[in-house]
Amino acid sequence: MTSKPSSEAPGTPAGVHARLRDVIKTFPAPGRERGVHALGPLDLDLKKGEFFAVVGPSGCGKSTLLELVAGLATVSEGTIAFEDRPVHGGVPDGIGVVFQEDASIPWLTVTGNIAFGLHKTGLGDKERNRRVADALDIMGLGDFADSYPAQLSGGMRQRVCIARTLVMQPRLILLDEPFGALDQQTRLLMGEELLKLWRETSATIFLITHALDEAAMLADRIGVMSARPGRLLSIIETDWPRDRDSRVVEEPAFGALTAQLWHKLRGESLKSIGRAQGP
């Protein structure tokens, strides 16, 4: 494990888990000297232990934002710090990612998949087995420990990927539209499980989604992004209790929240499909 972040480090007050300042991402493009401007400038503080969701029109750079925080891509300008250390050109210790695509490893059993990252941690066999057993249990995969991903449904495979991230005990979990490929009912239930995990692990969660209802149901705070180049238009607080579940969709406040999100996003979504903003 890494040493504790220094409390004298400048910039990041206590309670801020990750800090993004003036973050800009451009991609090189042929024939364009300055490249394609994909994201930013963008400022954001993720609070320790909160559930933060990002919604935005397609192509606005949501996934790029996640890759920058994960250290899978590097910022063109600006800074990102996680636990007071700059994230630059490397995957920081303590961050786990669940991707949108099926990332289950087809030649490994469910157990092999979950244990995949553990062999590098230097943990003993006993601790590794305990963590894998716990993750199997938490994700309800116990009966499928020896199955191969091909034998599982899409939802089960995504559980495998979540379990694989959990055993690493990340302090910040990034999820990139993890339920995008699942049907609506499965999504609601997976969302409920995600809330449970969040409460039990007390990790910070950063969820990217295109589903407004998913964001409204799960998050403490929701960042609304503009059309490309993606910027944060506003951050909405949901005020849900910490021990919520999918039944918050029955609350009147849920409808109001989803409506408020759509109100902010409609113009941006129109831009992203190439139409001017309507009345």
Partner 1 sequence: MNRSPMSRPLLLRILLILAFTAALEALCRLGVIDRFTMPPPSRILEDLARLLVTGKLYGAIAKTLSNCAIAFALAVVAGVAAGVVIHKSRLLRQALDPLFATYYAIPVFAFYPLFIIIFGLGDIPQIVIAFMMSVIAMIVNVLNGLDRVPAVLLKTARMARMSPLETALRMTLPSAAPYLLTGAKLALAYAFIGIIGSEFIMSRGGMGFEIAFAYTNFDNAVMYPLIVLILAISVAVNALLGIWEKRILARRGLR
Q: Which of residues 154-183 bind partner 1 (CB under 8 A)?
A: 164, 168
* Number of residues binding to partner 1, judged by CB under 8 A: 23
Question: Contact 204/18 with Cβ under 8 angstroms?
Answer: yes
Question: Contact 197/177 with Cβ under 8 angstroms?
Answer: no
Instruction: Check residue 276 for interaction with partner 1 (CB under 8 A).
Output: no
Instruction: Check residue 9 for interaction with partner 1 (CB under 8 A).
Output: no
Instruction: Check residue 60 for interaction with partner 1 (CB under 8 A).
Output: no
The residues, ordered by sequence, that sit 6+ positions from 119 with a Cβ below 8 Å of its Cβ are: 128
Phi-psi region of 177 (alpha: psi -120 to 50; beta: other; left: phi over 0): left
Tokens 């990750």, located at residue: 18
46: which strand partners? Answer: 18
Q: Which of residues 65-84 bind partner 1 (CB under 8 A)?
A: 70, 72
Q: Exactly one of 43, 77, 101, 146 binds partner 1 (CB under 8 A); which one?
A: 101
Tell me which stretch binds partner 1 (CB under 8 A): 92-100, 133-141, 178-186, 255-263: 92-100
Q: Which is nearer to partner 1, 17 or 164 (CB)?
A: 164
Instruction: Check residue 97 for interaction with partner 1 (CB under 8 A).
Output: yes
Tell me which stretch binds partner 1 (CB under 8 A): 16-24, 48-56, 149-157, 205-213: 149-157
Tokens of 60: 């606005």
Q: Which is nearer to partner 1, 116 or 254 (CB)?
A: 116
Q: Exactly one of 21, 45, 50, 102 binds partner 1 (CB under 8 A); which one?
A: 102
**Distance in Å, CB of 107 to partner 1, minimum:** 5
**Distance in Å, CB of 213 to partner 1, minimum:** 25
| Site mask for partner 1 (CB under 8 A), range 108-127, x = bound | --------xx--x-------
Distance CA 279, CA 277 (A): 7
Instruction: Check residue 206 for interaction with partner 1 (CB under 8 A).
Output: no
Phi-psi region of 45 (alpha: psi -120 to 50; beta: other; left: phi over 0): beta
Helices 184-201 and 154-166 cross at an angle (nearest 10°) of 10
Instruction: Check residue 128 for interaction with partner 1 (CB under 8 A).
Output: no
Phi-psi region of 87 (alpha: psi -120 to 50; beta: other; left: phi over 0): beta
Distance CA 24, CA 39 (A): 5
| Closest among 113, 92, 100 to 164, alpha carbons compared | 113
| Closest among 162, 105, 103 to 138, alpha carbons compared | 162
Q: Which is nearer to partner 1, 178 or 230 (CB)?
A: 178
CA 55 to chain centre: 11
**Distance in Å, CB of 169 to partner 1, minimum:** 13
Q: Exactly one of 103, 123, 189, 248 binds partner 1 (CB under 8 A); which one?
A: 103
Tell me which stretch binds partner 1 (CB under 8 A): 126-134, 144-152, 183-191, 216-224: 144-152
Q: Return the SS3 of 127.
A: helix
Binding site for partner 1 (CB under 8 A): 70, 72, 91, 93, 95-97, 99, 101-103, 105-107, 116-117, 120, 148-151, 164, 168
